[in-house]
Amino acid sequence: MTHTERPLARTALPVDLDEAAHRCLVAGFEGTTAVPDTLKRLIDRGLGGVILFTRNVRDAEQVRRLTDTLRALRPDLLVGIDNEGGGIGHLVAAGAPEVPGSYALGVVDDLGLTARCADALAGHLAALGITASYAPVADIQRQAGNPIVRTRAFGTDPDLVSRHLGAWIAATEARGVASCAKHFPGHGGTVTDSHHELAVDPRPYDELDLGPFRAAIAAGVPMLMSAHVVFPALDPNRPATLSRRILGDLLRHELGFDGVLVSDALEMKAIADLYGEAAGARIALAAGADQVIVAVPDLGVSLECRDAVLEALRDGVLGEERVREAARRVQRLVERYATPAVMVTAWDAEAGLEAARRAVRGHAVPHAVPGAHVVDLFPAPHPALNWGGEDLLTEMLAVDPTATGTAVAGEPDDPDGVVEEILTRAGGAPLVVATCDAGLYPWQARVRDALVARRPGAVRVATGLPEGTAMCSYGRGKANLRAVAEALSAAGPHS
């Protein structure tokens, strides 16, 4: 379906209210150099921000030119991106610092090191002209079957998570970049990925994971992002993103947050399939959100959301003061963060690899296996999260050119055939079998177990959360995998 801008059939809103409504929208778009005309018109009317993705990134110089071009259209435009570290980020092609991701940082539990990693990511953003980072994750990894939080969280302990959130937020703030703790009031207690369907956290109120969000607010986090999750203990009828009880009564009044509350992307199926993006935008703003994100590059979806908000304002369904209040919060945010630093000091490019090494080597590490045949089993990349092509074999070859291996991304059509092919390729070489959250992906466990049954001496590695006694990287970022490769090959400074 092709979306086009349609003229407004009814009386136009006052200019200042129209601009306030546009302030409440963050839009994704296609392109690396030219700004689409539709986006230019949205920016001209007051668009609050844009969100960049891998599709907008070719290299560092190009990204900086793009952000400069966007700000030339409107200096107070917020330019943001998801930038969690580990395998979750969109700036691989722009030379992003290699940071292992939150769970590994929690395993090391060195707040200074977490701050150095966050500083590296924020410094890189500032150098690119990006001044809003939709990170860190404040969720706690509660459910073994949770498919979406996992190593994106700092851990399973609320106090540990809270400490590292504070370190991350402070380091990001020091770079003049806005951080955003997510996903309020927590996505770690679900067994569903809200990208694919509505998620529910059935726990009673006193068991919900509000502590890290309280800590983030106390640390001065300027933004929070809502979860598309239903919490029956708080509101049995609507997900947090659309709930006045959660965003208003809980977040604003009980927790006292007065920064910008931004929705997770409205095209996620938890919202799009049950409400539609346009209705989701209107309901979220009425419930207390200050900005709604439409991350898909089809600007027609952003226009539909914008038009639904304007229509609701004209009909009185959405209160003018609610939108003006949201716009004032956004304006305070952009006044503080929209302009990137002129000079960006260097960051510690080695902090991430140091953290990854310490996470791996502080726990079960087998004897070195130089010349191994490395089998890397992992799920197909998540469609909403970037994957820069990292795999364990590539990192092994970088430190041990005698290694061989097989990378299997996603469930193979013939698992038994894959097992036989791997064993043939391996010959007499030592075997390393890596899995990533095999408990969620039974095909990995079947392939792994078949290989280990045939080769009982195989070294097992987990590249997600820990799996029994397997050596664990606590994430699949490049730094995580390099640290594992060094340990397996006896390379690197700590061998």
Please report the pLDDT score of residue 364 as a whole number.
64
Please report the pLDDT score of residue 2 as a whole number.
45
Which DSSP string do the residues of 379-421 spell out, in sequence order? PPPPTTS------HHHHHHHH-TT-EEEEEES--S-HHHHHHH
Which DSSP string do the residues of 15-50 spell out, in sequence order? HHHHHHHHHTEEE----SSSPPHHHHHHHHTT--EE
Radius of gyration, alpha carbons of the chain:
23
371 torsion bin: left (phi>0), alpha (psi -120 to 50), beta (else): left
**Domains contained in the chain, CATH given:** 15-337 (3.20.20.300), 363-489 (3.40.50.10090)
* Nearest by Cα to 16 from 287, 332, 333, 321: 321
Strands 373-378, 404-409: pairing kind: parallel
Please report the pLDDT score of residue 276 as a whole number.
96
Segment-wise mean pLDDT, segments of 10 residues, the chain, 495 residues: 50 93 98 97 98 97 98 96 91 95 97 98 98 98 95 98 98 98 97 91 97 98 98 97 98 98 95 96 98 97 98 97 98 93 93 97 77 95 75 95 95 96 96 96 97 96 94 95 93 48
Residue 108: CA count within 13 A, CB half-sphere: 28
CB-based burial, 297-329: b 16+ in 10 Å, e otherwise: bbbebbbbbbbbbbbbbeeeebeeebbeebbeb
Q: 2: which 2 tokens?
A: 């092709």
How far is it between the farthest Cα atoms of the chain?
78
Which DSSP string do the residues of 168-211 spell out, in sequence order? HHHHHHHTT-B-EEEEET-STT-SS-TTTS-EE----GGGS--H
Please report the pLDDT score of residue 254 as a whole number.
97
* Nearest by Cα to 79 from 340, 387, 341: 340
Using CB atoms within 10 Å of the CB of residue 362, give its burial: 0 to 12 exposed, 13 to 18 middle, 19+ buried: exposed
| CA–CA gap between residue 334 and residue 222 (Å, rounded) | 11
> What global pTM score does this model have?
0.95
Q: What's the start-to-end Cα distance of the chain, in Å?
A: 57
| CA–CA gap between residue 105 and residue 85 (Å, rounded) | 10
Q: Which residues contact 417 (CB under 8 A, 6 or more apart)?
A: none
Helix axes of 299-315 and 277-287: crossing angle, nearest 10 degrees: 50
Instruction: State the catalytic residues.
Output: 195, 264
| CA–CA gap between residue 33 and residue 335 (Å, rounded) | 25
* Nearest by Cα to 338 from 175, 121, 170, 176: 176
> In the block, which residue shows the tokens 């007051």?
46
Please report the pLDDT score of residue 6 as a whole number.
53
